[in-house]
Amino acid sequence: MTHDFPPVEGGGSLILAWQIRNKRVLVVGGGEVAAGRILNVLNADAKVTVVSPREGLNPEVAYRIEQKQVDYHDRKFETADLDNVDMVLTAIDDPEASTRIWKLCKERKVAANIADVPPECDFYFGSVHRDGPLQIMVSTNGNGPKLASMVRKQIASGLPPNIGDAVKKVGALRKKLRKVAPEPEEGPKRMQWMSKVCEQWSLQELTDLSDKDMEILLGFYAPNEIPSSEVVRMQSRPDWAFDGSFGWSV
């Protein structure tokens, strides 16, 4: 018997959305690379500690410290810095010190990224496009960061300008749906119904969803129906009329 299953392609990375909100992240270094790493983890709501001599600070890193967006130690790395941390990022021009930190992290089972040394990384930073809650990452598995950036820009240029707003509205609709149908056994139906909404409504229609529109749309969940946006808005805004040809008129 033959099976039409996808082949295994080894050599890749498992790309995940790592939730590090309120996790403790140690950044060793204060240069340009460290600045990018710090912004990445701050955007993920991590608690960040930076260890680096002040004379080597990048202006952006100095700004983060001045604004108290990070905790700061004006000195070189010490082993005790690894106490009670969840992630370590190094960005220093000292290969021997970087490898030493890597080995200490391995002993303590702490996930680490040693900048520009792929073999000493538990994970890589890809090139990320962000539009509100939407994040798209391109990774070359440490082979070509510049190429990843070029690919990311090409992908981003083809995205609709309102896609971030559409994602926000879909997220809000999902939360409301869980209140309407909270039972675990409703899970498959919820997923299928949300999928149909996303498939049948345009991005602009999803972006334009108001809270009242959502309440009316959710009324079609029980019979497992997907009304058109025109039907929903006719019920949501009875003072509007749909002329059937050119759109809405008041």
Neighbours of 75 (CB within 10 A): 11
Catalytic residue among 116, 208, 213, 243: 116
Q: Is 45 a catalytic residue?
A: no
Q: Which residues of 45-57 are buried (b: 16+ CB within 10 A; e: fewer)?
A: ebbbbbbbeeeeb
Strands 241-242 and 248-249: antiparallel
> Given 3-state DSSP classes, what are the helix, strand and coil percentages for the chain, each rounded to the nearest 5?
45, 15, 40
Q: How many other C-beta atoms can be found within 10 angstroms of the C-beta atom of residue 141?
A: 14
DSSP secondary structure, 152-207, as one string? HHHHHHTS-TTHHHHHHHHHHHHHHHHHHS--GGGHHHHHHHHHHHHHHS-HHHHH
Token pair listed for 89: 């990022």
Q: How far apart are CA 164 and CA 132, in angstroms?
A: 5
For residue 164, which of 203, 213, 217, 128 has the smallest C-alpha distance? 203
Residues catalogued as catalytic: 116
